[in-house]
Amino acid sequence: MTAPAEPSRFARGTSRVPDLIFRSGTRIFALVVVGLLILLAIQLAVSGSQVFRTFGLSFITGTTWDPVAGVYGALPYIVGTLGAALIALILAAPIGILTAIFLSELAPRRVAMPLTFAVELLAAIPSVVYGLWGIFVLSPILKGTVEAWMIGAFGWLPIFAGPPFGIGLFAAGVILTIMILPTIVSISREVISSVPNNQREAMLALGATRWETVSKAVLPAARSGIVGAIILGLGRALGETMAVTMVIGNGEHIPSSVFDTAQTIASKIATTFSEAQIGLQTSALIGLGLILLVITIGLNIIARLLVWRASGALGDGPA
Amino acid sequence: MSATGATVRPAAASRLGRAALGRRRDVNDRAMRGLAFAAAIVCVTPLAAVIAFVTINGIGAFNLDLITKGPKALGVGGGALNAILGTFQMVPLASLIAIPTGILGAVYIGEFAGRRSARLIRFSADVMVGVPSILVGIFVFTFLVLPFKQYNAFAGSVALAVIMIPIVLRTTEETLRLVPGALREAALALGVPVWRTVLSVVLRTGLAGILTGSMLAFARAMGESAPLLFTALGSRLVNVGNFAQPMDALPLFIYRNATQPNTTLNQQAWGVAFLLMVVVLVINVSVRARSAGRRVG
């Protein structure tokens, strides 16, 4: 790779007119990406500002969403979003990290290759197909097995109280787990692979077992990158729309237990935006979107910085 | 490590202790390696389950009407021709916008940009990938639907393009890095202008990688429904070529039919899901199969 050595591959001194035109032409296209991101943020902020002007911070803390009365409070959807993402994170983080360790450190190449491929394909399946599968296959299974069992065993705890609907916050969390696993696995795997080999060799030479090598030499070195991978997964879980909309049950209240129906910010927008009255109601929905945007962009910036730092020079190596 | 610490103990105790410790370490090692293997299995099981169920239910629901007819004007029944034609109009138009934009943007980062601006653009692209796609839908709605007071397929294509651009840009840019600098120098030494060097040497050399990225972005756009909800909206009518009007898409069709309490409609959703999944997986498998060997290990 020759790139990092010089600031740019073609010297700035080129004086030929066609080259200058080409250069500035490509620059415009490159700036489109930056421009779109800025424009998107500004546009959502402007269109969503009306609801914040009307309700101030009580838009975030309010629990009533009533278009007829003209009252908008976002708390049920914020709780729904965080709840579903949290369930996904609790399930996906350990499974994802262990899978990444298995694929990059423990498995022989002929096992690791097809499994890695399968994990990549997991990310390729469209969200709406997961949603369809979630409605008709996953939720009935969850209802009869995990949910019934957990309510039986832990039902005395309010957050595990029944009845099991199948559809609801928990089903959404499980679907999200499946959808964010590829993100966590593939990025963790890359970060773990970029830990220098002499770290492993030193541990093995001291007589450490394979697992001790992984847990005491490799993981500490890859820690910040793995945290980044998990945060990226979290960001994806917070913003995922279709599959969640289809299995969360669209309940317009703060969920009382993990098996209750709920609504995330994204699913609320998806189910109501096209029928909303232009004005305060659309502004309220865009305001919800703005909250989601701020959270996901914030998480993405933190995560990218962590991953870039862990896998080498700041974005100059493959990230 | 604890093993070396054990040697300072009295000899007998140490031998016993070390053996026990060794066994414990060994058991722990095996247990954790087994756990990691189990996690990997848990991780890929849903893939098998989704493919199996969609295939079985989808083939069961598949018939010729599904791909040759639009939905019946009244009642349920008919097919998904509206969705099939919609996807294969909106996604190509989105590609026409996104692929050149992404490639030329990547050329700027890879060939001309200084380090700081390259970093900024790369970072923006990565953050853009993380923006929830439903917000892209709202964003395009405010520009291309609200002013005309009309949901339209063009807005749908633009929304899909916004999602595709950062993907194409990042994959192309990573491919261009692998093009040897000597090739550029050779062309320049022959007196070839920079723009021709880029177009016919650099991009030509990286063509395979650029195609990979573009095809993956295409497949991704085919499966996106959230950005279309408030732009193309979806439609029960077969719309050919009228981008000023609402248009349907495969994922929108699945969403609508899956969420209604009607078995016939649900069956259609499975059939269309099978169709969509096969196309998306075929693109992904054929494109990734070649590059997988390079990426692992």
Cα gap B120→A295, rounded to integer Å: 20
- DSSP assignment of B180-239: -HHHHHHHHHTT--HHHIIIIIIHHHTHHHHHHHHHHHHHHHHH--GGGTTTTB--SS--
- Provide mean pLDDT across the span B203-211: 93
Cα gap A291→A60, rounded to integer Å: 9
Q: Tell me the pLDDT band of B292, cut-offs 50, 70 and 90.
A: low
- List pLDDT tens digits, range B171-192: 999 999 999 999 999 999 998 9
pLDDT for A163 = 85
- List pLDDT tens digits, range A36-62: 999 999 999 999 999 999 999 999 999
- Give the DSSP H or E segment for A65: strand A65-66
pLDDT for A6 = 46
Are the Cβ atoms of B174 and A318 closer than 8 angstroms?
A: yes
Quick check: B235 pLDDT over 80?
Answer: yes
Q: Of A147, A139, A141, A133, which is closest to residue A166 (Cα–Cα)?
A: A139
Cα gap A247→A143, rounded to integer Å: 12
- List pLDDT tens digits, range A182-212: 999 999 999 999 999 998 999 999 999 999 9
Quick check: A318 pLDDT over 60?
Answer: no
pLDDT for A164 = 87
What share of chain B in percent tops pLDDT 70?
92
Quick check: B86 pLDDT over 90?
Answer: yes
Cα gap A271→A250, rounded to integer Å: 9
pTM of the model: 0.92
Quick check: A315 pLDDT over 50?
Answer: no
Are the Cβ atoms of A43 and B35 closer than 8 angstroms?
A: no
pLDDT for A13 = 53
Contact between A49 and A57 under an 8 Å Cβ cutoff? The reply is no
Of A60-69, B7-16, B206-215, B281-290, the poorest mean pLDDT is in B7-16
What share of chain A in percent tops pLDDT 90?
82
- List pLDDT tens digits, range A215-265: 999 999 999 999 999 999 999 999 999 999 999 999 999 999 999 999 999
Instruction: Please report residues of A whose CB lies closer than 8 A to that of B1.
Output: 206-208, 212
State the count of interchain CB pairs (< 8 A) between A and B. 325
List Cα–Cα distances, A168 to A224, A239, B204, B255, B297, in angstroms.
33, 17, 51, 17, 40
Average model confidence (pLDDT) for chain B?
A: 90
Q: Shortest CB distance from A315 goes to which of B47, B54, B123?
A: B123
pLDDT for B74 = 80
- Provide mean pLDDT across the span B227-252: 96
Quick check: B41 pLDDT over 60?
Answer: yes
- Provide mean pLDDT across the span B36-64: 96
- Report the residue of chain B nearest A109, measured CA to CA: B297
Q: Tell me the pLDDT band of B152, cut-offs 50, 70 and 90.
A: very high
- List pLDDT tens digits, range B107-120: 999 999 999 999 99
Point out which residues pair with B71 in neighbouring strands: B78
- Report the residue of chain B nearest A184, measured CA to CA: B43
Instruction: Please report residues of A whose CB lies closer than 8 A to that of B206.
Output: none
pLDDT for A8 = 57
List Cα–Cα distances, B163 to A14, A36, A77, B126, B243, in angstroms.
34, 10, 25, 11, 19
Instruction: Please report residues of B whose CB lies closer than 8 A to that of A118.
Output: 44, 47
Cα gap A51→A72, rounded to integer Å: 8
Q: Is the dihedral of CA A11, A12, A16, A18 positive or negative?
A: positive
Are the Cβ atoms of A132 and B254 closer than 8 angstroms?
A: yes
Q: Tell me the pLDDT band of A1, cut-offs 50, 70 and 90.
A: very low
